[in-house]
């Protein structure tokens, strides 16, 4: 199997290569096979990308929002038309089942392009009447050159979620995908170009952390948007602060899901599956701490395990019948297996799964732990794999307090038929993205992002516009100017 792109980088409307950069091997996670070899951006490539983005931005910003939006919406249509091949590429890049990528990756990217393309024409400032006939107005302006840095779990989606609001507002972007999944952002850049995006407005450069770091501190960069882990977020935020750059930080989590005894148990089990095993658990907002009211805990675990036994089909993720893929990489598999061992060592009980699957590739069995306590490592740290911890609780107050007892604040969910309680619990959650009787849906119309250590700013929704533009305020004096002397 080969998925070799035309070159490693896409700059100024064309593919660019510089083989002097260190090699990045792209590995198909279901077999361990190398399917493409790319090269990290050298200093010359980084310079070329930033110079292109800087040069292209003013003319792009000078177009009307409607004109910019038209390009984004055209790209959205092209992505939808090409959904199958983009989904296959995403599956090869990440190892996620084609069954998932067909509905959740390029389509989500297209949604973002369409949504922000639609908004672009309506971005305006405001008129502010003042006493004495004076007035003020605001001009919504682009920030300039934005840098986007992606994680490996949703490479297409992340590229589009960052590019769409940035470009809608008139910014240009240099995007660095994760070195683990370098392929799909290149194709997105190519499609944007084919849709009519002026050269240099969206550029992709490859590389590991050092390339990301060199992008952030360049004087031409006005904003950095990162999707990644908390430790990386700390470094990127600090580096961006040196130049007073704007940031959006979409970081990790250890989110709670609270299931009350009155919940529709089948819906709650579905929520727990969506919030733990989709993308083999490699989802930042996953609700991995599943608090179940004591009286229904056994029934919940029994149904969950039954559904996993019946529904999990492991195999080649390119086979559409497969529902459960491998970890993205051998390294990630080892991390997840390490957490499982630690859970067992600290006294948690494996109710399902618990080991590497007996097949080629980096597969870890979907794993359910019971007997988990709040102080265990598996209940405190982000695992980023298919490991669900069941914890039991007795009262609403206790469930809320324990849910919030974490440094993270990305997402949280509640399952109950008592809607007054649902809204009360959600109000008390310390999390940016909450769910009632659902989990992990991320429509573009809804803000997405975290509080506490899980992030700064929001992606998607009209709110993202605030994160990719700034207001220039203009005071207009209509009468005398009174001065003290
Ligand atoms: N909140 C959200 O929306 C999401 C958060 N994530 C989080 O991402 C993490 C998993 O993704 P990984 O790729 O392993 O994260 P990571 O933090 O290792 O890497 C993220 C990106 O940052 C780059 N990077 C690393 N060091 C850097 C530095 N010093 N300066 C600039 N860039 C640097 C990497 O090359 C990569 O492109 C998890 O913690 C997960 O929760 C993942 C998806 C969505």
Which backbone phi and psi does 226 adopt, to 5 degrees? -115, 135
- What three-state secondary structure class fits 45? helix
Q: Is the CB of 236 under 6 A from ligand 1?
A: yes
Nearest partner of 235 among 253, 210, 254, 255, judged by Cα? 210
* Burial of residue 143 (number of CB atoms within 10 Å: 0-12, 13-18, 19+): buried
Is CATH 3.30.70.580 the right assignment for the domain spanning 9-251?
no
Fold classification of 256-436 (topology level): Aldehyde Dehydrogenase; Chain A, domain 2 (3.40.309)
Cβ of residue 455 lying under 6 Å from some atom of ligand 1 = yes
- What are the strands, taking DSSP E only, across 29-166? 33-39, 127-129, 135-142, 145-149
- Pairwise CA distance, residues 155 & 148, whole Å: 11
**Which of 211, 231, 232 has most ligand 1 atoms within 8 Å of CB, for mutation?**
232
Sign of the dihedral through C-alpha 418, 419, 425, 428: negative
- C-alpha radius of gyration, the chain, whole number: 23
Element (H, E) at 391: strand 387-393
Per-residue pLDDT in tens (0 to 9) along the chain, 485 residues: 899 999 999 999 999 999 999 999 999 999 999 999 999 999 999 999 999 999 999 999 999 999 999 999 999 999 999 999 999 999 999 999 999 999 999 999 999 999 999 999 999 999 999 999 999 999 999 999 999 999 999 999 999 999 999 999 999 999 999 999 999 999 999 999 999 999 999 999 999 999 999 999 999 999 999 999 999 999 999 999 999 999 999 999 999 999 999 999 999 999 999 999 999 999 999 999 999 999 999 999 999 999 999 999 999 999 999 999 999 999 999 999 999 999 999 999 999 999 999 999 999 999 999 999 999 999 999 999 999 999 999 999 999 999 999 999 999 999 999 999 999 999 999 999 999 999 999 999 999 999 999 999 999 999 999 999 999 999 999 999 999 99
Answer whether 209 contacts ligand 1 (Cβ < 6 A): yes
Report the distance separating Cα 340 and Cα 377, nearest Å. Answer: 10
Distance (angstroms) between ligand 1 centre and the Cα of 415 equals 30
Q: Is 178 within 8 Å of 159 (Cβ atoms)?
A: no
* Cα of 310 from ligand 1 centre, angstroms: 33
**What ipTM was assigned to the predicted interfaces of this complex?**
0.94
Write down the pLDDT at residue 373: 98
Q: 409 CB contacts (<8 Å, ≥6 apart)?
A: 253, 430, 431, 432, 450, 451, 452, 453, 454
The reported pLDDT for the residue numbered 96 is 98
Contact 457, 449 (CB under 8 A): yes
Cα(63) to centroid of ligand 1, in Å? Answer: 33
**Residue boundaries of the structural domains of the chain:** 9-251, 256-436
SS3 406: coil
Q: Which atom of ligand 1 is nearest to the CA of 233?
A: 17
Ligand 1 site, residue 235, Cβ cutoff 6 A: yes
Residue nearest to atom 41 of ligand 1 (CA): 252
Active-site residue list: 250
Decide: 145 and 220 in contact? Cβ < 8 Å.
yes
Q: What are phi and psi of 225, to 5 degrees?
A: -120, 120
pLDDT for the residue numbered 1: 83
Q: Give 141's strand partners.
A: 470
Q: How far is CA 249 from the centre of its chain?
A: 10
Ligand 1 near 248 CB (within 6 A):
no
Residue nearest to atom 34 of ligand 1 (CA): 209
Q: Is the pTM of this model over 0.95?
A: yes
Query: What is the secondary structure of 311-365 as a DSSP string?
Result: H--BS-TTSTT--B---SSHHHHHHHHHHHHHHHHTT-EEEE--SB-SSSSS-B-
Residue 41, ligand 1, Cβ within 6 A:
no
At 206, is the secondary structure helix, strand, or coil? Answer: coil
Q: 385 and 280 in contact (C-beta within 8 Å)?
A: yes
CB 249 near ligand 1, within 6 Å: no
Catalogue the E-assigned strands of 216-295.
221-227, 246-250, 256-259, 289-293
Q: What are phi and psi of 154, to 5 degrees?
A: -135, 65
| Bridge partners of residue 221, in order along the sequence | 145
Q: Which of 422, 458, 456 is nearest to 442 (CA)?
A: 458
Calpha distance 215→205 (Å, rounded): 10
Element of type H or E holding 58: helix 43-62
Please report the atom of ligand 1 found closest to the CA of residue 215. Answer: 31
Q: Is the CB of residue 137 less than 8 Å from the CB of residue 125?
A: yes
């Amino acid at each position: 199997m080969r998925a070799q792109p035309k070159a490693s980088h896409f700059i100024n409307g064309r593919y660019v290569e510089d083989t002097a950069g260190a090699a990045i091997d792209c590995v198909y996670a279901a077999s361990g096979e190398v399917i493409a070899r790319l090269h990290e951006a050298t200093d010359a490539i980084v310079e070329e990308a930033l110079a292109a983005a800087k040069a292209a931005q003013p003319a792009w910003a000078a177009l009307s929002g409607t004109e910019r939006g038209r390009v984004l919406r055209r790209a959205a249509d092209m992505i939808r038309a090409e959904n199958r091949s983009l989904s296959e590429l995403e599956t090869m890049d990440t190892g996620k089942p084609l069954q998932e990528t067909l509905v959740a990756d390029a389509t989500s990217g297209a949604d973002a392009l369409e949504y922000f393309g639609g908004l672009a024409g309506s971005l305006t400032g405001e008129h502010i009447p003042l006493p004495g006939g004076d007035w003020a107005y605001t001009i919504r302006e682009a920030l300039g050159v934005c840098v986007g840095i992606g994680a490996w779990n949703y490479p297409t989606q992340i590229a589009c979620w960052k590019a769409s609001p940035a470009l809608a507002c008139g910014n240009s972007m240099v995007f660095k995908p994760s070195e683990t999944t370098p392929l799909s952002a290149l194709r997105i850049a190519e499609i944007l170009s084919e849709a009519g995006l002026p050269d240099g407005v969206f550029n992709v450069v490859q590389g590991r952390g050092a390339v990301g770091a060199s992008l952030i501190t360049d004087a031409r960069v006005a904003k950095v948007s990162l999707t990644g882990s908390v430790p990386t977020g700390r470094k990127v935020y600090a580096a961006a602060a040196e130049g007073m750059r704007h940031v959006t930080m979409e970081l990790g989590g250890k989110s709670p899901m609270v299931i009350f005894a009155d919940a529709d148990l089948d819906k709650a089990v579905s929520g727990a599956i969506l919030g733990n095993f989709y993308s083999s658990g490699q989802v930042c907002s996953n609700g991995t701490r599943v608090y179940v009211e004591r009286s229904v805990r056994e029934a919940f675990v029994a149904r969950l395990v039954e559904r996993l036994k019946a529904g999990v089909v492991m195999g080649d993720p390119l086979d559409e019948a497969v529902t459960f893929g491998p970890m993205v990489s051998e390294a990630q598999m080892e991390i997840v297996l390490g957490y499982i061992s630690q859970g067992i060592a600290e006294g948690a009980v494996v109710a399902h799964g618990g080991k590497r699957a007996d097949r080629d590739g980096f597969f870890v069995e979907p794993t359910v732990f019971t007997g988990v306590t709040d102080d265990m490592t598996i209940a405190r740290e982000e695992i980023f794999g298919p490991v669900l911890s069941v914890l039991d609780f007795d009262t609403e107050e206790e469930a809320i307090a324990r849910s919030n007892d974490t440094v993270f604040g990305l997402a949280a969910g509640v399952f109950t038929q008592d809607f007054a309680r649902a809204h009360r619990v959600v109000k008390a959650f310390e999390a940016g993205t909450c769910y009632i009787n659902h989990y992990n849906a991320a429509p573009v119309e809804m803000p997405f992002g975290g509080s506490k250590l899980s992030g700064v700013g929001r992606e998607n929704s009209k709110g993202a516009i605030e994160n990719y533009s700034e207001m220039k305020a203009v005071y207009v004096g209509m009468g005398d100017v009174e001065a003290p002397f």
